[in-house]
């Protein structure tokens, strides 16, 4: 059931028209607004960045792999040189030990007739 | 004000969807009264109401593909208009009073109504917070029932009923306190 206040509210809030030419103003505003850009997939702006990041990461990995190989090769070379040095040192020490203890060198095969 | 679906309106919608500018302008003309009135009663300011109403139709122009029928169009327009108006009111909380020279429609009040009472009611409405104001406007301007208001504003039915009850009580108190009402306190 409607109360007097309901009726008064309906009268107070009765619809009113906008000023003359409203539709034309809307159409002009639509015409003057640039069309929204073609919507790209959400990931699109990230694609070049992702490609660049992948390339950079690949370069870094190859460089790191190469550096590790080089380090490994240098390590092996150093080890080989160390072993050779130790071997030579061992021989020298052995020779010196024999000299100190008066041991004669075993005759060489061409010393026998002298 | 409930959405019926005359053939002409449906045709205009179909043609507007396919890019017909004249058909879209026809759609604007046939719904401008609803949209502008909602905006005006929510914002209580002619120029802002016009701006908001234009914005609603611009959004409609971009969203036409998703509008399925004229009934859906009317629902969409009410929903977007009230939501945009609520957003603006929340953004600009200073706007609470109705400028004296900006009260719409006071010059063409129906003869049987009291212009001062109508005006006082609109002033009191403008003092309500955004959500209850939207509920009252949809109820009394658009003649929607609480269920339809709840769908339009995406509120629960209980919230709508509560807003309506409290808003009516506030308006009644405001009228009773003012000297403009010719209605007795009991009759309100």
Judged by CB atoms closer than 8 Å, whether chains meet at A22 and B188 is answered as: no
Query: Tell me, what's the pLDDT at B105?
Result: 52
Higher pLDDT pick, B161 / B103:
B161
Q: Check if the beta carbon of residue B137 is closer than 8 Å to that of residue B1.
A: no
**String of DSSP letters for B106-132:** GGG--TTS-HHHHHHHHHHHHHS-HHH
Query: Tell me, what's the pLDDT at B7?
Result: 60
0.80 exceeded by pTM: no
CA neighbor of B122 nearest in space, from B143, B103, B141: B103
Proportion of chain B above pLDDT 90, given as a percent? 63
For testing the chain A interface, which of B38, B49, B57 should be mutated: the one with the most A CBs within 10 Å? Answer: B57
- Averaged over A92-98, what is the pLDDT? 89
Q: Is B39 helix (H, G, I), strand (E, B) or coil?
A: helix
How far is residue B136's CA from residue B143's CA, in Å, rounded to a whole number?
Answer: 10
Chain B within 8 Å of A3 (Cβ-Cβ)?
yes
**pLDDT, tens digit (0-9, with 9 covering 90-100), for B15-63:** 888 888 999 999 999 999 999 999 999 999 999 999 999 999 999 999 9
Q: Which candidate from A5, A17, A25 shows the least CB-CB separation from B168?
A: A5
Judged by CB atoms closer than 8 Å, whether chains meet at B141 and A16 is answered as: no
Residues of chain A in contact with residue B121, where contact means CB-CB under 8 angstroms, are 8-9, 12-13
User: Is residue A114 predicted with pLDDT exceeding 50?
Assistant: no
- Characterize A41-52 residue by residue with b for buried, 16 or more Cβ atoms within 10 angstroms of its Cβ, and e for exposed: eeeeeeeeeeee
Secondary structure (H, E, C), A14-30: CCCCCCCCHHHHHHHHH
Residues of chain B in contact with residue A3, where contact means CB-CB under 8 angstroms, are 187-188
**pLDDT, tens digit (0-9, with 9 covering 90-100), for B152-184:** 999 999 999 999 999 999 999 998 877 655 554
């Amino acid at each position: 059931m409607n109360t007097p206040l309901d009726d008064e509210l309906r009268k107070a809030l009765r619809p009113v028209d906008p000023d003359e030419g409203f539709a034309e103003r809307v159409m002009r505003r639509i015409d003057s607004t640039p069309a929204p850009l073609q919507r790209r997939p959400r990931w699109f702006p990230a694609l070049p960045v992702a490609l660049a990041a992948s390339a950079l990461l690949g370069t870094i990995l190859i460089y790191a792999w190469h550096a590790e190989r080089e380090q490994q090769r240098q390590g092996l070379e150093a080890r080989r040189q160390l072993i050779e040095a130790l071997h030579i040192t061992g021989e020298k020490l052995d020779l010196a030990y024999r000299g100190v203890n008066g041991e004669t060198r075993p005759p060489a095969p061409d010393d026998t007739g002298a | 004000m409930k959405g019926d679906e005359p053939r002409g309106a449906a045709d205009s919608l179909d043609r507007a969807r396919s890019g017909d500018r004249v058909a879209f302008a026809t759609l604007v003309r046939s719904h401008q009264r609803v949209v502008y009135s909602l905006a005006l009663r929510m914002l209580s300011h002619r120029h802002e109401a016009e701006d908001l109403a234009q914005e609603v139709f611009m959004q409609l122009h971009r969203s036409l593909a998703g509008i399925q029928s004229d009934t859906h169009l009317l629902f969409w327009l009410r929903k977007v208009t009230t939501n945009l108006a609520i957003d603006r009111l929340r953004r600009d909380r200073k706007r609470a009073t109705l400028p004296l020279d900006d009260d719409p429609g006071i010059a063409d009040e129906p003869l049987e109504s009291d212009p001062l009472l109508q005006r006082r009611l609109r002033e009191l409405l403008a003092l309500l917070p955004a959500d209850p104001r939207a509920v009252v406007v949809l109820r009394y301007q658009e003649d929607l029932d609480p269920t339809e208001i709840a769908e339009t504003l995406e509120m629960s039915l209980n919230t709508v009923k509560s807003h309506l009850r409290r808003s009516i009580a506030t308006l009644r108190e405001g009228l009773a306190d003012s000297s403009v009402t010719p209605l007795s306190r009991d009759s309100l």
